[in-house]
Structure 1
């Protein structure tokens, strides 16, 4: 029962009136009146309690408001204030995390650690550098996209490398092998102290991708001009090959990783760490998305001083390449033809002359799990220990034997000795060399004939998506085109962890 102020006033007035003598209250009426008065007392008490609670709520509201105005927390603050501030803090942290994620959007980071153990057999006795070697190499690369300049996308790329051990490369170099780097994964910064394990900045370049026609409608563009400059690995832009181009996962011998004339013969003229300054302009036409084609022009610092920023462009290496992707019954292949010119190439006798050469690199998928590949190179001008090369091989996917992530690779190389090199004769040292370059034992002279031959087979076994091991076997015959050189075999085991 709810009483208004008006009804209470009327009731009070009625109770204050003098009683009429003729209307005496009955016991029932007195009882009803007592009940009514008791209920009024309860209502007054409840009203006082509600007023007290309202005052308390007002006080708490003021305390909450005062607490929210201060960024600090105290023990006397209401629980609601503490909770609200906790929610605000979590929201701010989420916004910060979101901003960080947005700033890192598009950044690509890759890292790898590879270790190789090799042992050679069939070499002459008394090899000073030993017949078994162990080495490791670690690589970390970061690709950082920059804010677009209108329709132009551009990015920065950096690559850091470190390692120890030269593998068996010194041994085979001292014996005069054309394929003097049977372990292309071996790395030691500048080839200095064996105890050094120094990280070096191998690559640092900038690239801009400009859609063509310039100032056109970018979504309709099917042509791109790419401009790249900085310190780089030339084989990231020229002589690429899907079946043979990564020594950390595919073939180990350098003559099978790149064109032997460019790499093993030193035509690229890189620095002691395998990199050089350069500029690359590339035109990509993807009008037919299934069969795009590209034209590239590169200008690189080469040689002892040109590759390390001392006289980078005084005698540059110039490379041009045309590449086309073709599809046969849905199976893709890449076909590349290129040429190079080095104004001050180094002949086998140490003299400097202009060097010119041409090359070809092909990889073609012929099945769901089979890739055939080949490279050809010919030196048109200049005199090197070998002037013509041919490599070919195949990669077989493990899906044929129930191991889809595994791979078998088989390849061979033919390195034909140069005419002038054959006529001049060559020397070797059976016992290896000391620190001063003197032959320790068994010096000899021979007249090269024919070609050096190399064969390699590996099996890449995947343990996890990031961890693979690869047993590897190499066969080398007629080392340095020496007809009397014994055949050599190299047994290796590679472990590669990549992320």
Structure 2
């Protein structure tokens, strides 16, 4: 037994060192090329040339994330009225267990963002997505979600399908004091946001660190969202969303959610955001719940975030989760002229019918190759709530392309 524990420990350390050494080796090799007066033209040097920083500014992590990238693109779009523009994100990940028999699970996804503007106050947006692979969640029962990017869009015959993930129009009025989004929307794009834990393609892979595990948000469906802001620091928003994507009976059975929040020290090294929201679900007898999300930047280098959400008894019985909380720390720094990010998070999800909570932790290290490509190894630990399940330790590797 002691030998097996030592063997497992060595496997974990060895695997993590290999994953971490890949991007560090590439970065170190690339940096050394700048010190050579005469560069070789061998295939090896051509390969490492792929990871050099080309002309143009690097894309910081906050703008590279899927949601932030869309926001930046939409803001810039108003200068090109009537022109259809395209952009997107592609992500691939590989995960496997270390404790039990390895079972490698791969997930690949890409999003194509299509958008145009009709003046300064009207925007039309589409998000077309295709996903292959269901990740480790299909073989490890859990509430938290081990890969929030998973969810195959393949047919039963194995044919890949491109789906319309979002399709909405945005209208702004009163000098942008009022914003209205209407169409097929994703309510988690607007509610329960968090600057440091909100995107599965560039930050944490685990679903519980993307949105609260206790938030019973419906699938992307027809809906409307209204937001008003004050002095760019305080805001109030409200949304209605259908429970399914059929488009039938749109005036009944809405998921309702409202949120208010404020920002301290905006655009500084100490920026902090506080949000509190409440929701009502018609499928659970209009039972309600609430949540909060906070994040803070410390000295421009360190990040702190936290979440908490709780459901009323009837909603908890229907959804299966009574409450959930999570918190985490992060660090970001330029290393060899490239962005380097570290994130560590821990959370607990309390099932409604069980006494013991589900526990989850994740560590990731994101390394920038150039302004388009990022690579990050991930280490996850899961302690399921069910008594008959053992702990799970997973190691993974994710690559992200912004185009």
Q: TM-score range by the shorter chain?
A: 0.7 to 0.9
Aligned counterpart, 1:109: 86
Aligned counterpart, 2:239: 298
Aligned counterpart, 1:242: 195
Aligned counterpart, 2:347: 413
**Does the Cα contact within 8 Å between 2:107 and 2:134 map onto a contact in 1?**
yes
Map residues 32-431 of structure 1 onto 2, 5 A cutoff. 109-123=86-100, 131-148=103-120, 153-172=121-140, 175=141, 177-179=142-144, 181-189=145-153, 192-193=155-156, 195-211=158-174, 224-262=177-215, 267-270=216-219, 275-286=220-231, 289=232, 292-302=233-243, 306-327=244-265, 331-345=270-284, 353-382=285-314, 383=317, 384-399=319-334, 405-418=339-352, 421-422=353-354
Give how far 1:170 is off. 1.1
**Does the Cα contact within 8 Å between 1:109 and 1:140 map onto a contact in 2?**
yes
> Aligned partners of 2:339 and 2:150: how far apart in 1?
25
TM-score, length of structure 2 as denominator length: 0.75
Give how far 1:489 is off. 0.9
> Aligned partners of 1:110 and 1:165: how far apart in 2?
23
Q: Secondary structure at the match of 1:184?
A: coil
Give how far 1:122 is off. 3.5
Greater Cα radius of gyration, structure 1 or 2: 1
Aligned-pair Cα RMSD in Å: 2.3
Q: Which runs of 5+ in 2 are unaligned?
A: 1-78
**Does the Cα contact within 8 Å between 1:363 and 1:374 map onto a contact in 2?**
yes
Give how far 1:386 is off. 2.5
> Aligned partners of 2:155 and 2:181: how far apart in 1?
31
Map residues 486-497 of structure 1 onto 2, 5 A cutoff. 486-497=390-401
Aligned counterpart, 1:475: 381
More helix by share: 1
Provide closer, same or farther for how the CA distance between residues 410 and 103 of structure 1 changes in structure 2, counting only shifts above 3 A. Answer: closer
**Does the Cα contact within 8 Å between 1:164 and 1:194 map onto a contact in 2?**
no
TM-score, length of structure 1 as denominator length: 0.61
Query: CA deviation digits over 1:115-168, x for unaligned, max 9?
Result: 111112445x7xxxx8211121010112311135xxxx1111111001211111
**Does the Cα contact within 8 Å between 1:121 and 1:131 map onto a contact in 2?**
no
Aligned counterpart, 2:368: 462
Aligned counterpart, 1:60: none
> Aligned partners of 1:268 and 1:240: how far apart in 2?
13
Provide closer, same or farther for how the CA distance between residues 414 and 320 of structure 1 changes in structure 2, counting only shifts above 3 A. Answer: same
Give how far 1:187 is off. 3.2
Give the length in aligned residue pairs.
322
